[in-house]
Amino acid sequence: MTKNLVDIKTRRQYSFSAFPITVDPLLPLVIVLMAWLLSQRYFPELIYLPSESIYWLMGIASALFLTISIFIHEVGHALMAKRMRLPLERIHLFLFGGMAELRRRPVMPRQELAISLAGPVASILFAFASLAAARSLPVGFDEIYLILQYVFYMNLLLGVFNLLPVFPLDGGRALRALLWRKHVLFFKASEQTLKVSVVVIIGLIVATAILLLLKYQTIALWLGLLAAYLLYTAWSGRKELLYEPSVADLVFDFEDIDDLEDVIEDILVFGDDYPARCVFPVAEDAKLQQVVLGKLLRIEEREKWRDAIQVPEIGDYIDLDNPETYMDIDEFSAEFVPAIKHGRVAGLCDAHEMQFWLVQQHQSKQNDA
């Protein structure tokens, strides 16, 4: 939870659409670089034009379309997450890709499978929509045809590439979802996904070596670059894949859990809008007595904070020793709720993240029994 709090505090979000978006500040430079490569290397090989400026216009348009294509890919993930009732934190566009970041993880295999596949499906649909638009152009619009053809190729490549069964690509996440559904346990599915990813990358490296021996240097070069990129990607994503936090990693502790005002003040450090996402404990000797729903608080009316106190119910807290407080709960009262351990309030935890890992551990113990 500490990581979540820090992340939310430091992000800068923009609302260019229905989704919060963050953009890497260097992205415009990448767009300019892509425009230069397309205008000087790609399009001159396909068509002769009397004006250099037309090549530049084609390059700029294609580079912008590529960025839009990445955004559409991430919107595919975001729309499916919304359909699965998983809130979106933001869509982030970085130098050579994007990421739809969810506020909480999928807790069922079908959720992860559907969200993972939605991005590639969106890319492939956009690819064929571009192809259809290109073929519907009248004679004489060759420049626009080539731009749309490029958009078709890039989106088709983006969709198919992301379906490769290598984590953290969409195909790797989809594979984990299928293994997760088969084996029930998320931990085991993640370990097997890593093994499959390694096998796929080794296979590509072996294929590259064979192609070099057969003197197919050009194909070997591209396949080798693909293998190198996937190796880097898998190495970067291995920590996420094998992440198995302890309870302490998911609990945000406070210096004085018995003082409601101090607890709220600690949360206010991360933003005035943050308390609405919390359930605050009213504790005595670190034992939970009552709770305060942050969404009922008026931060500026401190004298009324005590008026919002109520008796805790299931969904207002998580008792780490009592599965009834985290098994089969559809909705918690807030995103962050008190965590109780051995009868004492340990701090606040990300309710859904804590529930996910506790359920996995509970199922693991049942399988071992």
**Mean of per-residue pLDDT scores for the chain:** 87
Q: pLDDT-derived band of residue 368, with 50, 70 and 90 as boundaries?
A: low
- The pLDDT tens digits of the residues spanning 349-367 come to 998 889 888 888 877 777 7
DSSP codes joined into one string, 311-336: ---TTS-EETT-GGGTTT-S--SSSE
- The pLDDT tens digits of the residues spanning 170-181 come to 999 999 999 998
Confidence check: pLDDT of 154 > 90: yes
CATH fold for the domain made of 247-368:
CBS-domain (3.10.580)
Using DSSP, state whether 363 is helix, strand or coil. Answer: helix
Q: pLDDT-derived band of residue 268, with 50, 70 and 90 as boundaries?
A: confident
Query: Distance (Å, rounded) from C-alpha 234 to C-alpha 49?
Result: 43
**Beta strand residue intervals within the chain, DSSP E:** 21-23, 88-94, 97-102, 251-252, 279-284, 287-293, 309-310, 318-319, 336-341, 344-350
Q: What percent of the chain has pLDDT over 70?
A: 92
DSSP designation for 216:
-
Name the pairing type of β-strands 344-350 and 336-341. Answer: antiparallel
What the block records as the tokens of 266 is: 């600690």
- One-letter amino acid of 209: A
* Spans of all domains in the chain: 15-163, 182-244, 247-368
- The pLDDT tens digits of the residues spanning 106-119 come to 888 999 999 999 99
